[in-house]
Chains A and B, each alone.
Chain A
Amino acid sequence: MRIAIAFVAAMLTSAWAQEIKMPPAFDKLAAKAEESVDVTLDSNMLQLAGKFLSDKDADQAKAKKIISGLKGIYVRSFEFAKEGEYSAADVDAFRAQLQAPTWSRIVGVTSKHGENNEVYFRTSAGSQIGGVVIIAAEPKELTIVCLSGTISVDDLADLGGQFGIPEVVLPKSKAKGKEE
């Protein structure tokens, strides 16, 4: 019995450890920022939204299908008065959780103007993604988006502009590409 409890505890700890956490340093950033926005759509909230979405309406049915696989959508956004208010170390503390082989960096755009955008996918079976993290860092702005749960690349593109998620330009999946 004790072994079973230990096993279950280990499994739960492992699952918990795999969840992406916003580092405590972000709270300090929020205190320094001119403006900070914190959006939380946890599993309960998504279930609540899903409950109200109709299966009869095509758009709502699609949204319902997308959010049924999601466990949470979290957005943290900071706008600073001047450059240098947040450091690379602040972002590194968050990025340290996105380690291979669980996480893969799919997109990395660095500009000479100091605008850096990164997209990470959590690997999962088949064409599904197990989670998505977007880091958009500009000299005076920092935005982190975390999607927890399973989602396809096509659905992810459709989620852009919804639920506080910025528009994401991603290549459509091969299967859909052939159809088109």
Chain B
Amino acid sequence: MSTRLLAVFLAASAAAFGADREFDRLVKAVESRFGVQRTHIPLMGVANFFVKVARPEGATGFKLAVFEDLRFDGDGAALDRIMADASEGLHPLVRVRSRRDHEWTYIYTGEAGKSAKMLIATFERNEATVIEVQLSIDALLRSLGDPARTGKMFAK
């Protein structure tokens, strides 16, 4: 019995680890490329708890990393490479590049058990944000229904 419980626990841990793999990989890549550390956000765990309870817009949980003092030079090709490497295993959905606002937004999606997950990264001149959201199926389908709008929504 205990062996079965251990197996279930290990499987769950592996799934949870796998779900966060891309997020962690991307955070490390941004830290390495731009030589910055993610900003500590107080009470992030509390916010995540409320997201799990309230589930706004079909989100069932999220991870967030904010980077400040980035000094992003606008090298879109370099960003494309970073994103392609970090998002391995996910499907590219949207890429929005706005020279007007100096903003680059990438959205990748993937399966996470019975729900879906979305990895969103936005890069501005001095700031970057990486978000991983666990989504309900309705929310995923809404995003797929108008992916360009979803991309612009995160870009603004």
Contact = CB atoms under 8 A, between A and B. Distances in A.
Contacts of A39: 93-94, 147-148, 151
A34 B99 contact: yes
Nearest to A45: B91
B137 A37 contact: no
Given A35-B100, A37-B151, A48-B111, A163 B95 contact: no
Contacts of B148: 37, 39, 75, 77, 164
Interface residues of A, number: 24
B58 interface: no
A60 to B, nearest CB: 8
Interface in A24-75: 30-31, 33-42, 44-45, 48-49, 52-53, 75
Interface in B124-156: 137, 140-141, 144-148, 151-152
A53 B141 contact: yes
B136 to A, nearest CB: 10
Nearest to B95: A38
Interface string B90-116: 011111111110000000011100001
B76 interface: yes
A44 B90 CA distance: 10
A35 B116 contact: no
B76 A52 contact: no
Interface in A132-180: 162-164
A77 B151 CA distance: 13
A53 B140 CA distance: 11
A52 B96 contact: no
A52 B117 CA distance: 13
B99 A35 contact: yes
B91 A48 contact: yes
Contacts of A48: 91, 109-111, 116
Contacts of B145: 162-163
Contacts of B92: 40, 42
A93 B149 CA distance: 28
A36 B96 contact: yes
Interface of B: 76, 91-100, 109-111, 116, 137, 140-141, 144-148, 151-152
11 contacts: A33-B99, A34-B99, A35-B97, A36-B96, A38-B97, A39-B148, A41-B93, A41-B147, A49-B140, A163-B144, A163-B146
3 nearest A-B residue pairs (beta carbon): A38-B95, A52-B137, A45-B91
